[in-house]
Every structure is written in structure tokens, then in C-alpha cells.
Amino acid sequence: MFQSWNSPRAISYRDHYSIPHTWGTAVNVMGMVFGNLGNDSGTGVLFTRNPANGARELYGEYLVNGQGEDVVAGIRTPEPFSALSERHSDAHASLSGFAGHLENHYRDMQDVERGRLYLLQTRNAQRTVQAAVRIAVEMVEEGLISRQEAVNKVVPEEMTQLFVPRFDEEARAQAVGGNAYMAQGFGASPGAATGKAYFDATRAAEAAAQGVSVILIRPETKPDDIHGILAAKGVLTSRGGVTSHAAVVTRGLGVPCVVGCEALQVDVQSRSCSASGHTIKEGEDISIDATSGEVLAGAIPTFQPQLDEVHEAQVLLGWADEYRRLGVFANADTPTDAQRAVSMGAEGIGLCRTEHMFLGPERVEVVQRMLVNAQEAERWAKEHPEEASRRAPLPSQPHGVQTFYGALDHLKGLQIEDFTGILRAMGNHPVIIRLLDAPLHEFLPRYEDLVRSIVTLEAQGAPDGEIEPHRQQLQIVESLREANPMLGHRGCRLGLTFPAIYEMQVEAIITASANLIQEGIMVHPEIMIPLIAHVNELKQLQVNLTGVAESVQAAMATEVDYKYGTMVEVPRACMTADDVAQVAEFFSFGTNDLTQMTYGFSRDDAEGKFLNQYIQDETLPSNPFMTIDPEGVGGLIRIGVQKGRSVRPDLEVGICGEHGGDPASVAFCHREGLDYVSCSPFRVPIARLAAAQAALEGTAGGDTR
């Protein structure tokens, strides 16, 4: 049988002609297997370009006195295919001719089996995405296929592999063959990573600062783990799904991440994890493939894609951009994220999660001071509205109120700096900024940790003066605890009960925008209010926040071009979208939460508990958190778009959940007439290609540009 071009043996072809070591980079490949020519048989015939002179030449291997199975099994060493021209020049010439005819006819690389030049079989050959991209681009350059056909030849989901680290395939195969497999999770942020296991974010960051390649392993991550995530080469969690904290943060950072690996027993106290008979202790090697979700014991070499592969991908994506109608935005929370999004071809920021700007121990601590004193500050503000309007700490205020406004002022400075960096990076492109939407439990001290510290201090006989502050903090945290935080005090509800927080954020957005405009940089911020269920929530917030925006613009004598819109993630907002659109200038469907609320699934729990079985048993056709459910969730989106545009025909509509990088979901958004999709930066190429294929569906491939 034919020896696959993806097999390690094929590397000899590329090495001989100095073709970069990445699987499947040869172009216009035609592989053939043939039967006896006298006592000879051959395998692996292919067309490629000779870098020395640019000529298309036939290369491959030739085996004397053997069958195809001898080559596949690897028990015989074939000779260079040039030997066939010396032994059987007529057969070599005929075979070359047939190869060219078949490639021209099928407009694709082929596997061919034949005997004495009777062609027995031809089929589209298997290839890696690197080979698929290069083949498609060079076939267009040769005039063999059109650009439309080239765009349709590549699988969108595979495009991300071109931009992320990958395992050396031979080393990975040896590791798996050597029983290195440990467990399987969900690939949340693509790429491969290997390093030393660390189970604490601070220890991971310290090790990384010493030059150690770190894999951060946690049961689940929290906002205060961000310094460990930033330092890590990869992240692995035993809980959570593809929309969990670890998944969302690492996708934005471009850090490989495997989540929901429930077969992995993580013991933070003993600093170890175990699965499938392997135990990995802190400082020992572990490897993760965040594309497939595999976890492997030991170190496996990784490598970055070659620049020439990325160049050809950019050519193909440039053609895709000519055909797609959907805009492709990126989810980005930092200036670095925004720059990466631009490099991947994003046309704007579809979701800037402001809560992610508060990550890291130093910022989380400030957010905690703000939140635990917010109730006291709000009560005081109702009694002292004039002083409260300044949103600043004053000597006349009670201590808790001073603490609240001091933390608020500190965060405002950080937010202005962050927004300035993101808006500067995006320039004239739109940037949709979502106001704070995190459930409070993600930022507050853990209730259990506070109880444990109090019990420990009491057992040690600590004086009441030392224990009392912990008791007061516990009382505040207990008052803010929720049975179901994802459906609780978050989003617009937080903005309505603690208006100073949203007012601070809008002040920071408009201030950053005005500063850039004064520098001559045109910016287009769009302010998104999350979790609206009733139009009155949006009305009340918009009145308050518009007043803040106007005050800043007047004080800075600068007009900012901005919009107000909402994140549609509650089913009721879809059903009453005609009311909501009378106030909102744009809709961004938050498909993660909309799916969760429509199905009644807890997205973090479902994927780790029963959703896999649902997919295996075909109870559900696909994971609704990865691909939009077209009938249920999609039906609500359809209603929301139709109702919204019935009262505001120019309503800007997009999606900003993780579905924005899923090809099937992108095709759904194209069919439903949305304006854009937004996804993590590394999935932008997938969305660009998928949007083009959706636009080309059913069209003829006659464009030969």
C-alpha cells in the first residue's frame, strides 16, 4: 500500500532537497503504489519542487523484489525513485505522464495503485494542514484550480495548528508506545507544551523566573492564579470545561491548556497528580497536547511552525477574506492580546472582558477591598449623594467608605492604562468593552479559607484583636455568598446595585479614548452592558452612564465616537429584543451563557460529568458549548435578530462566545445574517476561513484569479 506522506519515512524526501522539517510541506504531491515490473515494486511517488531550480520533478522511493506491504511495515529500505528510470525508463516516463494527468484531472494530490501501468485506484491523498495549505496555494499559482477551490480545500479547524507549538511526531509516538499516556481532557487552548509540574501558582511563577519550563496543574484556576498562568508553558486542570476560567484566560494568552481532565487526581497538598498508574510529583516532567486533550508523562520535544508555512497560510487567508461577508473580531483583554489579534487578521475586538483586567494577586486584592466595602459605600452614598458623585475617598467618610472609593480610584487608573493600550493597538477598528460581569465569588476571598484561618488563630490562642478583622471579613463575605453565583449578583445587576463601579469603568473608557483622540488616533469604543433580562435595566444604566461619559468629554473638550449596546445572554432578552433594541445600538450574543440558560446545564459541571456520555450515546448530536445548537439556542438568536432589526434596521449584531471560532457556528452566523463573530486570537484564522467557505457554499469554482 501507499506510504503516507505524513509518515516519518517521508522526511527523507524533504531532507534531500532541504525542505523545512514540518510534516506535509511538499506540494502538488502524487503518491503511487505499483505492482511488479519484472521483479520490482515501488511506493511513494510524488511531485514536488526542486528548490535548486524550481522545477516540478517526480520523487519517491523504489523497492526491488518487494511488495507494498514490505514498505508499509518498514522491514525493507527502498531505493530512490530515480533508480526506476535507470531500470525501466519507459515505465518511469509513462508513470510520470499518468501522474500529471491524474493531478490535472482531480485537481488534488492522489494515492494511486497500479500494476504494469494499469491504474487500479486513485483517491485524494491524506495530508497535514501544512501540506494542504501549500498544495492549495501552489495549485492556484499554476492555474490548476481557482482561489475559491483553494479556500474550500483546507479544513478550517486545522488552521490553528499552523500558529501554535506542536510535539515532534516521532518522539510523541515513542512516548505513547512506551506507555506514557496518562489521561484525556478537553483541549481548551491549542498547542503542545512540556515542562516541570507545579501545583501552586506562586511556586510556578518563582520556578519560571529561574528559567524552568513550567506546567501549572490545578484542580481549577481562579483569578489569583494569573501570575502562575502567565509564567507557565501550559496549564492543566482536572475540573472545568472549555468555557471555564482556565480555558478562557489561556486562550487569550495563547498558552496551551487542557481542562476537565477528571481521570487525573490532583493533590495540591502533596504537590502531585496521578492517573493510569503514573504519579507526577512537583518538579517532574509532564507534557500536554492541548489540541487533542492528551496528558503524557515525561518530556516530549516541541517545535514552532516554520515561517514559510505561516506565509502560505496568510496567502490563503487573504483569498478567504475576499469572499467572506462576516466580519471576524477577536476576544482580547490586554494590549498584548489586541496586538496578537491584529497579527491574526482580526478586524476589531468583539469582547474585552474588563474583569480579566483585574487578574493577578496585586489587582485582585484591590478588587476585594472594593467589593467587600461596596454595600457600606452604597448605603452612605444614598445619604450623601453630592459627596458620592465625586467617587473619591474623603476624610469625612467612614473607614469602609474611604476604602471602597480608594480602591475604586486605584482601579480607575489601572483601567485607563489598560484601555489606552488596547484602543491604541486597534486604532481605527471597533473595540467592544464589556463592563464588569464576573460572579463575585471569583474575586472574593474563599469562605472556607477565612473560616480555616479563624479556627487556626483561635486554636493558637491568638488575641481577639488579631482575630477580629478576619471575623469581620468573614461576615461580609458570608453576606455576599450565593447558592448559584452564575445566576446571581453579576453583570448589570452589579452595576445597578453598586453604580459607582460601572460609572468608574465608563469614565476610564471615555478618558482613555479622549486622550488618544487628542494624540491624533481615531478610536471607536463600544460599551457593552451584560446580562440584561429586561429593557428597564438597560434604560436605567444607560441614563446614568451617558451622564458620566458626557461629563468626561466636556471636561476634556473632546468628543468621543462611542456606542452603547448589550450582551444578549438571557433567553428573555431574545424574546423581548424589539424592546431592548429601542435602547441598545448593538447586540452581542453571549452564546456561552445563552446555551447554559437555554439547556439548564452548568457549563463547568456538565462537560466533566455527563455531557461526554451524551455525545457518545448520541443523546445530543454535538457539544452545545462548542457548536451552536441551531434549533434551540440558534432559534433564540434568530428571534433576537429579527425582533431587534424590526425596530432598528441598522442594528449591529454579532456573537462573542467561544462559538465564534467554531466552523459550524460561523456558518450558522453567516446564514442568519449576523455582522461578525468574535473568538480567541488563535482561532481567528479558523473563523476567517470558515466564513469564506460559508459564503462560497453552493457557488461554482470558476474564479481562476
Q: What is the CA radius of gyration of the chain?
A: 29
Contact between 617 and 253 under an 8 Å Cβ cutoff? The reply is no
Q: Which residues contact 39 (CB under 8 A, 6 or more apart)?
A: 64, 65
Structure-block grid coordinates of residue 413: 487608573
pLDDT tens, 407-419? 999 999 999 999 9
pLDDT tens, 223-276? 778 889 989 999 999 988 877 888 888 887 889 999 989 899 999 999 999 999
Contact between 153 and 136 under an 8 Å Cβ cutoff? The reply is yes
Cα-based torsion angle of the residue sequence 477, 479, 481, 487 in order, rounded to the nearest 10 degrees: -130
Question: Does residue 16 have a pLDDT over 70?
Answer: no
The CATH T-level fold of domain 8-127 is: D-amino Acid Aminotransferase; Chain A, domain 1 (3.30.470)
Q: Where are the domains of the chain?
A: 8-127, 166-303, 324-439+482-696, 443-481
Q: Which residues contact 304 (CB under 8 A, 6 or more apart)?
A: 165
Coil, strand, or helix at residue 235?
Answer: strand
CA distance 253 to 240: 18
Q: What is the pTM of this model?
A: 0.78
Question: Does residue 319 have a pLDDT over 80?
Answer: yes
More confident residue, 549 or 226: 549
The two domains 8-127 and 166-303 share their CATH topology (first three levels equal): no
The CATH superfamily label for domain 166-303 reads: Phosphohistidine domain (3.50.30.10)
User: For domain 324-439+482-696, which CATH number applies: 3.20.20.60, 3.40.720.10, 3.20.20.80, 3.40.190.10?
Assistant: 3.20.20.60
Contact between 288 and 192 under an 8 Å Cβ cutoff? The reply is yes
Which residue type does 586 have? Answer: F
Task: Pick the closest to residue 495 from 538, 557, 461, 447 (CA basis).
Answer: 538
Average pLDDT over residues 605-629: 88
How sure is the predictor about 12, in pLDDT bands with cuts at 50, 70 and 90?
very low
How sure is the predictor about 644, in pLDDT bands with cuts at 50, 70 and 90?
very high
How many C-alpha atoms does 461 have within 13 Å on its Cβ side? 0
Residue corresponding to grid cell 472594593: 370
The catalytic site residues sit at 245, 656
Contact between 570 and 533 under an 8 Å Cβ cutoff? The reply is yes
Task: Pick the closest to residue 674 from 628, 620, 624 (CA basis).
Answer: 628
